[in-house]
Amino acid sequence: MADLNPFTAWRRLLALPNESRLKTVAMAFLVSAICAVLVSGATVVLRPIQAANRAAEEQARLEALVAGIPGMADLLQRSGGSLSTVVMDLARGSAAREVTPETLETALADPANWTALQAGQDIAGLGQRPNFAQIYLLRDGDRISLALLPISGAGYNGRIDAILALRGDMRTVAGLAVTRQSETPGLGARIEEPAWLASFAGKQVSDDTGTVRFSVARGTASSAYEVDGITGATRTGNAVTQIVRFWLGPQGYGPLIDAIRRGEF
Amino acid sequence: MTAPSPLWSTLTDPLVRQNPVMLQILGICSALAVTTSMATALTMAASLTVVLVLSAGIISIIRRHIPDAIRLIVQIVIVASLVIVIDQILQAYLHDISQKLSVFVSLITTNCLVLGRTESYARLNPPVPSMVDALGNGLGYSLVLVVLGSLRELFGAGKLLGWQVLPLAEQGGWFTPMSLMLLAPSAFFLLGGLVWALRSLRPEQAEPAEFVPPVTREAGE
């Protein structure tokens, strides 16, 4: 009859020679279990604080993006000094009816609010895209003068998140801010550098027919649709091209851009 | 004069005489990468010291029950978990600095210094001496990081801990920042200079030459 008293079992385990197979497995299991509890505990306890930090950082980058666009300070003051936040329905290209910025997070936790992307459509490497996105609009009178569109997609080493600012004509880039990236330090990670991001301002993303033509050049930009590439970061540059093209295309903000051009928004 | 207690010499030996970075050239990857400013150097030094002391303590407590076959795995798991916890705490409470330190906090796991101390000391000694030894080595590492960080920040930006110490030329002062100091190579130069200076002061630290060329007579006399 096996002794089921845990206390004596523990003692017998400790008394086993270190080289015995049972003790090796038991020690490996115990150490990993305790460490797993420690790590998950720290992650769970600290996550709210980290999320708040990231949100504050994103807010600061958004403000820096707006402040860095020439003429924006004036516009901001005229329109009451703040951007309006809109949750939009990507497929319809209009404001979402049921979802507000407060409930967006819960809505996106539901897999039914995500659309799987076909291989041909998924040029940004997303796999699926949310049906709702939170965008920021700045109005000048009843005209939209600036739209801040969050974009994201797969980079070379991981996901890239950015915010693209388009002027009221929905063709001219007012600026770009990279909010998250994990590209190679010194090469791809240079997409975060203000000097490179500044080169986006004034570029055209699409031509007169509305076709998206934006790209990150290999080397020096040769047209109004291109920005200079970063040496040694071709894959990251291509990723940025694809992300911008995806999000300005029919699966992304295309319907919204059409609606704003028609003056419906 | 009384002989210093063994604990005291365990603590102070790694500061200069047995400095892990400068004598054993361990952990220099992070020492080079995070010393562009004092704030990052101090945070990194504190994180490494905490991880080192805690892992030495834990491993020393269970040292009699670590099966030899999996001892490295057990040590790495413990060190890695502590590193993740520290990294999470930094991300929560020191967000800006943790952004600057980026991957180097997580890389404490693979810092030879930590595994070296747990493997060579904590595995064989009781908890108190192990933790003292770990603290000494952590402080030795911190000392090098702080020296490098202060030199690089002072000459690279004219600042110390963010305070302008040397008036910059562009703001009407006389100091022109040496931007090389903020790049990685300068850490190599400085660390090399420190090692050279220390080994000149204490010749016993110099290693014997690994290869002595044989004396040969010149051909074609």
Q: For position B109, what pLDDT does the model report?
A: 84
Q: How far is A178 from chain B (nearest CA, A)?
A: 14
Residues of B at the A interface (Cβ-Cβ below 8 Å)?
62, 64-70, 73-74, 77-78, 80-82, 84-85, 88-89, 91-93, 95, 102
Provide the residue ranges of all domains of chain A, joining segments of one domain with +.
6-46, 69-261
Nearest residue to A158 (alpha-carbon basis) of A177, A182, A180: A182
Q: Do A31 and B74 touch (CB under 8 A)?
A: yes
Tell me if A31 and B102 make a contact (CB, 8 A cut-off). no
* Residues B85, A53: C-beta atoms closer than 8 Å: no
What is the end-to-end Cα distance of chain A in Å, rounded? 78
Domain ranges of chain B: 9-149
Per-residue confidence (pLDDT) for residue A179, from 0 to 100: 80
pLDDT class for A91, splitting at 50, 70, 90? confident
Residue A9 touches chain B, beta carbons under 8 Å? no
Do A19 and B73 count as a contact with CB atoms less than 8 A apart?
A: no
Rounded CA separation B136/B10 (Å): 7
Q: What does DSSP say about strands A215-216 and A226-227: parallel, antiparallel, or unpaired?
A: parallel
Average pLDDT score, chain A:
83
User: In the 3-class helix/strand/coil scheme, how is chain B assigned residue by residue?
Assistant: CCCCCHHHHHHHCCCCCCCCCCCCCCCHHHHHHCCCCHHHHHHHHHHHHHHHHHHHHHHHHCHHHCCHHHHHHHHHHHHHHHHHHHHHHHHHHCHHHHHHHHHHCHHHHHCHHHHHHHHHHHCCCCHHHHHHHHHHHHHHHHHHHHHHHHHHHHHHHCEECCEECCCEHHHCCCECCCHHHHCHHHHHHHHHHHHHHHHHHCHHHCCCCCCCCCCCCCCCC
From B64, B66, B85, residue closest to A42, measured CB to CB:
B85
Is 60 exceeded by the pLDDT of residue B185?
A: yes
Highest mean pLDDT among A42-46, A92-96, A197-201: A42-46
Task: Name the residue in chain B with its Cα closest to that of A21.
Answer: B67
pLDDT at B51 over 80: yes
pLDDT higher than threshold 90 for residue A92: no
pLDDT at residue B2 greater than cutoff 60? no
pTM metric for this prediction? 0.65
* Candidate from B66, B88, B102 with C-beta closest to A27: B66
pLDDT of residue A171: 87
User: Does the structure show a pLDDT above 60 at A27?
Assistant: yes
Q: What is the pLDDT of residue A143?
A: 78
Is B69 within 8 Å of A24 when comparing Cβ atoms? yes
**pLDDT tier at A70 (50, 70, 90 boundaries)?**
low
pLDDT of residue A73: 61
Statement: residue B219 has pLDDT above 60: no
pLDDT at A31 over 50: yes
Confidence (pLDDT) at A35:
92
Phi first, then psi, for residue B68 (nearest 5°) are -60, -35
Name the average pLDDT for chain B. 83
Separation in Å, CA of B92 to nearest CA in chain A: 5
pLDDT tens-digit readout, A148-192: 888 999 988 889 988 888 888 888 888 888 888 888 887 888 888
The answer to whether the CB atoms of A42 and B65 lie below 8 A apart is no
CA distance B43 to A40: 23
Size of interface A-B (CB pairs under 8 A): 59
**Is B177 in contact with B168 (CB distance < 8 Å)?**
yes
What pLDDT, on the 0 to 100 scale, is given for residue A239? 92
Contact B88 A46 (CB under 8 A): yes
Determine, for residues B70 and A27 on separate chains, whether the beta-carbon distance falls below 8 Å. Answer: yes
pLDDT for B152 beyond 50: yes
Least confident of A128-142, A211-225, A227-241, B187-201: A128-142
